């Protein structure tokens, strides 16, 4: 799995980018339920940047590091 380097740019994307498809379309990535992200992990992440973001999200959730991302959401309406 090709996971992007952990840096602020990728954390901000997790905090502000919305899921573009599927059951949770429109939900901010950091707010996706753990079981949904685990489902992607087991089935395979989609190609491209979204797959990399979901892979990073999986690692963040697995290690209980969501608190690193939540403060970056404060600009979202």
Asked if residues 18 and 26 have their Cβ atoms less than 8 Å apart, the reply is yes
Residue 53 CA: distances (Å) to CA of 21, 36, 44, 59: 14, 14, 13, 10
DSSP-assigned beta bridge partners for residue 18: 28
Instruction: Give pLDDT, residue 77.
Output: 45
Give the pTM.
0.86
What residue ranges do the domains of the chain occupy? Answer: 8-70
Per-residue pLDDT of the chain (77 residues; tens, 9 = 90+): 555 666 788 999 999 999 999 999 999 999 999 999 999 999 999 999 999 999 999 999 999 999 889 888 876 54
């Amino acid at each position: 799995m090709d996971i992007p380097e952990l840096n602020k740019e990728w954390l901000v994307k997790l905090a502000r980018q919305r899921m573009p498809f599927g059951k949770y379309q429109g939900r901010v990535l950091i707010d996706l339920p753990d079981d949904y992200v685990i489902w992607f992990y087991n089935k395979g992440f989609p190609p491209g940047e979204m797959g990399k973001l979901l892979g990073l999200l999986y690692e963040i959730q697995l290690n209980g590091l969501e608190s690193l991302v939540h403060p970056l959401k404060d600009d979202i309406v």
